[in-house]
Structure 1
């Protein structure tokens, strides 16, 4: 498979790297210490076209392919891992809308997401239903020509900032076919909606939250696709977004590894650069080798998506491997600095805290392996 970038893609990658280095990287630590993303961030990303990557041009988007979306995720996360959640959420919610929304709905929802005016959230996980999302319990009870939502969503990335949420609720019987998707306005104060921030080990700036729905009203014009089609739409989105998440993790790992190699050239011990010692150099070489292999796996999945083929196997392989590998690489990079990395002045500690979160979020390793096992073995022979 050819993973060569077009001249246009390479030019855009360089443009995004320059932007991320100048505008995002300086805020990475400060936003973590503040525990919040700066209010101007979504608009800055939107002005660069990075929150409208997957949206069609007629709605203010870039109409970018999946590979280009992966390139952006990798470059943004190299500079500011947490800023990349805005890129990721916007791309995933956009794809879900494109799969099921009407033209009129798209015209209302996509332009403000593409511009960065509206921060979107994916509201799927519940306290008792994370991996088992097909059996979620948040209820959509009929109310006139619409519904009222009752229940809780939790572990919602950007939940404290989101202006709009793709909320998955049970409109029918048990199982996946009873789940529908709604676009819910979260921007206006609503006495029937409450948010509660979560106190996290890492990615403290992204406003991960629980959302409580106590009769929030949604109309038929907020239903995405038909009743009972919500679970299918989000699963299709995950099939490629998991490869984007893989590149998001590998982007921060690349930054950590670059810093480690630079330090190995500069730091001297026993009268020579520490890179001269095999015990230090060889683990970094192993990290670089595996990082390159994982990148190829992620881009294979995205290239399959662009070709109209099923990306599920490489995307889910990437989802369980890339976050774990990235955590291992950042850890090894931290150890390369020795005592110097045990200070918060060094970014390696924050990188490690942040990247571990995506070993859990958007599908655990076990769920990703289950998907792959069912493809490779067949459902009758797999767990």
Structure 2
């Protein structure tokens, strides 16, 4: 039987987050961008609301929520503050990796602090010469006594300047390709770790930047999972984060549409509200329809993940089209609101800048189309 309804608990959670996003996040959304600040106090507030620990088991301070509920958080927080949705997306991905693959000691040390918002943890895979081809990373980790010695550079890393620690992926066997990658929890205060920020177009409060590793000695107990198995761990996690990113973008776009609908119902032109003109209403309808389709494909993908079913192509389609349709909708909203929307007095220009960043992160459009092609055409036709 098909059932597209949410449970009573999920409906309550959505209403609570919708109110929180509208009352507490939306009024200050542009503030952190203008000031170049990561609002750590709001990460802690999200921890109090249970948002940070949705994919962390209850015994470690989380709620052990299902993926659909996590998607609700991504969509609603995205309406209020697009950048704070990283607390949902990043923590869900990292929470799953640590929960499933780390030692009990690492779980006890890190999961409660991530769930509470006390600690911000990033994930570092991308390098200057390895983006879509994650298996091509050059950062190395050599076992030396009771430590691993890490050397390399990670680039384009979210929370690079704000994170307290990072899950670093490095080659532990350079002869094994993708199978020779391992993952480590690396606190930023270890000697030899240097973090620098970028001057990005958008996502300013996320503190994106580079991480330099110069003979960083990481205790061997900070290895996550089995040596040389890190690549498989994170690839599965991307199926979750890509679905959440789609809903994050859709949330920001729906909020923009809601604001624009109110504007065109009130603003007069030639004695009539703008909304009566098809040149205004039809574009709004088009974007609403696109966003609705992506939204429900995202929830379908999350439902499949909750039931242990394959969902890679669904995830890839949401990551491909979610940011694309969202930035197109926000751009249209900016135009329909006129010249004031081109100023920084309104949040539309920032939403546009922020969403465009996720047309790149976690897999470009082309990378996600490759995933879909491999699934529906066959692995033998893939180009990599």
| Residues in 2 aligned to 1:308 and 1:174: alpha-carbon distance in whole angstroms | 29
Aligned-pair CA distance for 1:148: 0.9
Number of the residue aligned with 1:142 = 143
- What are the Cα deviations for residues 206-241 of structure 1, in whole angstroms up to 9, with x where unaligned? 100101000111122101110111010000000121
| Residues in 2 aligned to 1:361 and 1:27: alpha-carbon distance in whole angstroms | 24
Alignment of 1:1-383 (within 5 A): 1-172=2-173, 173-186=175-188, 188=189, 190-383=190-383
Deviation >2 Å, runs of 4+: 102-105
Aligned-pair CA distance for 1:381: 2.4
| Residues in 2 aligned to 1:191 and 1:232: alpha-carbon distance in whole angstroms | 29
Aligned-pair CA distance for 1:108: 1.7
Tell me the secondary structure at the aligned position of residue 251 of structure 2.
helix
| Residues in 2 aligned to 1:178 and 1:192: alpha-carbon distance in whole angstroms | 23
Aligned-pair CA distance for 1:53: 0.7
Aligned-pair CA distance for 1:102: 2.5
Q: Contact (CA 8 Å) 1:243, 1:315: kept in 2 or not?
A: yes
| Residues in 2 aligned to 1:283 and 1:377: alpha-carbon distance in whole angstroms | 34
Aligned-pair CA distance for 1:9: 0.3
Q: Contact (CA 8 Å) 2:53, 2:114: kept in 1 or not?
A: yes
Aligned-pair CA distance for 1:289: 0.9
| Residues in 2 aligned to 1:193 and 1:104: alpha-carbon distance in whole angstroms | 23
| Residues in 2 aligned to 1:191 and 1:164: alpha-carbon distance in whole angstroms | 13
Q: Contact (CA 8 Å) 2:90, 2:241: kept in 1 or not?
A: no
| Residues in 1 aligned to 2:280 and 2:299: alpha-carbon distance in whole angstroms | 30
Tell me the secondary structure at the aligned position of residue 40 of structure 1.
helix
Q: Contact (CA 8 Å) 1:3, 1:299: kept in 2 or not?
A: no
| Residues in 1 aligned to 2:381 and 2:139: alpha-carbon distance in whole angstroms | 32
Q: Contact (CA 8 Å) 1:78, 1:251: kept in 2 or not?
A: yes
| Residues in 1 aligned to 2:38 and 2:108: alpha-carbon distance in whole angstroms | 28
- What are the Cα deviations for residues 312-353 of structure 1, in whole angstroms up to 9, with x where unaligned? 111111010110000000011111112221111011111101
| Residues in 1 aligned to 2:55 and 2:40: alpha-carbon distance in whole angstroms | 23
| Residues in 1 aligned to 2:28 and 2:63: alpha-carbon distance in whole angstroms | 26
Tell me the secondary structure at the aligned position of residue 359 of structure 1.
coil
| Residues in 1 aligned to 2:343 and 2:351: alpha-carbon distance in whole angstroms | 13
Aligned-pair CA distance for 1:174: 4.2
Gaps of 5+ in 1: none
| Residues in 2 aligned to 1:268 and 1:291: alpha-carbon distance in whole angstroms | 27
| Residues in 2 aligned to 1:350 and 1:105: alpha-carbon distance in whole angstroms | 37
Aligned-pair CA distance for 1:140: 0.4
Q: Contact (CA 8 Å) 1:178, 1:228: kept in 2 or not?
A: yes
- What are the Cα deviations for residues 233-253 of structure 1, in whole angstroms up to 9, with x where unaligned? 000000121011100000000
**Which shifted more, 355-364 or 23-32?**
23-32
| Residues in 1 aligned to 2:24 and 2:144: alpha-carbon distance in whole angstroms | 47
| Residues in 1 aligned to 2:202 and 2:310: alpha-carbon distance in whole angstroms | 33
Aligned-pair CA distance for 1:143: 1.7
Q: Contact (CA 8 Å) 1:51, 1:113: kept in 2 or not?
A: yes
| Number of matched pairs | 381
Q: Contact (CA 8 Å) 1:3, 1:300: kept in 2 or not?
A: no
Q: Contact (CA 8 Å) 2:165, 2:185: kept in 1 or not?
A: yes
| Residues in 1 aligned to 2:309 and 2:40: alpha-carbon distance in whole angstroms | 38
| Residues in 2 aligned to 1:87 and 1:357: alpha-carbon distance in whole angstroms | 17
